[in-house]
Amino acid sequence: MNIKTATVLKNAWGDKPCDHETLEKEYFNDMATGDYICTRCGEAFTKSERADKIKQEQEDKEKSQE
Contact footprint for Zn ion (CB under 5 A): 18, 20, 38, 40-41, 43
Of 43 and 49, which CB lies nearer to Zn ion in the complex structure?
Answer: 43
**Alpha-carbon span 25 to 52, nearest angstrom:** 16
**Alpha-carbon span 31 to 38, nearest angstrom:** 18
Of 19 and 59, which CB lies nearer to Zn ion in the complex structure?
Answer: 19
Of 16 and 63, which CB lies nearer to Zn ion in the complex structure?
Answer: 16
Q: What are the phi and psi torsion angles at 60 (to 5°)?
A: -60, -40
Tell which residue, 50, 47, 33, 56, has the closest CA to residue 6. 33
> Least Å distance between CB 15 and Zn ion?
11
> Least Å distance between CB 37 and Zn ion?
9
